[in-house]
Structure 1
Amino acid sequence: MHRHSSLRYLWTLLLGGWLATACTNPTDSKPAGLIEEGKMAEILTEVHMAEARVSRLSLTSLDSSQVAYKHMETQIFKKFGVDTAAYRKSYIFYSSHPANMEVIYKQVTQSLQKKIDAGNAKRSKKP
């Protein structure tokens, strides 16, 4: 009986520790190599545009779509001088800090809207 209560205590302790860790706010310290918000917004704008381009290609194979997107994504990272690891680390950090991500996506939305407006203006000027 003593062994059963010790095991039960251990499980309770482990579960309590896990819950305490899971319910705490993420650390506010920024990781090394974090992409700054403005640059992250520019990258995400390009990423969303690449996703839209791939969807317009109407590729019949999911594999073909993924290959096309991966190529575009590589070009985007090269253009901004970041690697996949820095992008993912930054995306994870900003995703766990909603206020920062909201600021970033406001910039993304504004940038995409400007591109849409510029495209519409070009089309309306054509005879």
Structure 2
Amino acid sequence: MKKLPICLALILSALLTSCQRPEEAAPPANLLPKEKMVQMLVELHVNESRVQGSGLRADSAQALFNQLQKDMLWRHDVSDSTFWQSYRYYAVHDKDLDEMYGIVLDSIAMRKVRLQTLPPQ
């Protein structure tokens, strides 16, 4: 009979420690810094826009996007799993992802302005 309360206490403590709130979740060991994530997200969305504007069929467009994504990860020396683990971590922390996407949108808007002000060739 004495073992029952001890078992319940152990189970309860295991459940409580495994159900951490997002702000308490430990970052992954290979978490990308916010600045690098912003650079990669800008590039990812620019690539997505390029593929959408290419006029390719869906399967060809998907293959092109996948290749551009692989190239981006290679250039930044980041594995696919590291990128997505970092993205998920920042997504759980809404403020971080909101802040990062504010910078991403500003960066893309600045690129657009620069492209529009280039003289015609």
Q: Tell me if TM exceeds 0.5.
A: yes
Question: How many angstroms does 1:78 deviate by?
Answer: 1.1
Instruction: Establish whether residue 31 from structure 1 lines up as the match of residue 28 from structure 2.
Output: yes
Q: Structure 1 residue aligned with 2:120, among 108, 115, 126? A: 126
Q: CA RMSD in A?
A: 2.1
Q: How does 1:45-56 map to 2 (within 5 A)?
A: 45-56=42-53
How high is the sequence identity, in percent, across the aligned residues? 23
Look up the match of 1:43: 40
Q: Which structure has the bigger radius of gyration? A: 1
Tell whether 2:106 aligns with 1:110. yes
Q: What is the TM-score when the length of structure 2 is the normalising length?
A: 0.79
Who is 1:12 aligned against?
none
- Tell me whether 1:66 sits opposite 2:62 in the alignment: yes
In structure 2, list runs of 5 or more residues that go unmatched: 1-14
In the TM superposition, what whole-angstrom CA distance separates every residue of 1:26-56 from its partner, at most 9, and x where no partner exists?
Answer: 2342110001101000000000001001101
| 1:48-101 residue CA offsets vs partner (Å, 9 max, x unmatched) | 0010011011112x2211110000001111111101010010011011100110
SS in 1 for 2:99: helix
Selected match of 1:80 from 76, 81, 84: 76
Structure 1 unaligned regions, length at least 5: 1-16
Cα distance in 1, alignment partners of residues 112 and 35 from structure 2: 20
The Cα of 1:104 is off from its aligned counterpart by 0.8
Task: Find runs of 4+ consecutive structure 1 residues off by over 2 angstroms.
Answer: none
Report the AA paired with residue 64 of structure 1: S
How many residues were matched structurally? 106
Which whole-Å CA distance do the structure 2 matches of 1:126 and 1:45 have between them? 25
Q: Give SS of 1:110's match.
A: helix
Name the CA distance, whole Å, in 2 between partners of 1:100 and 1:57.
32
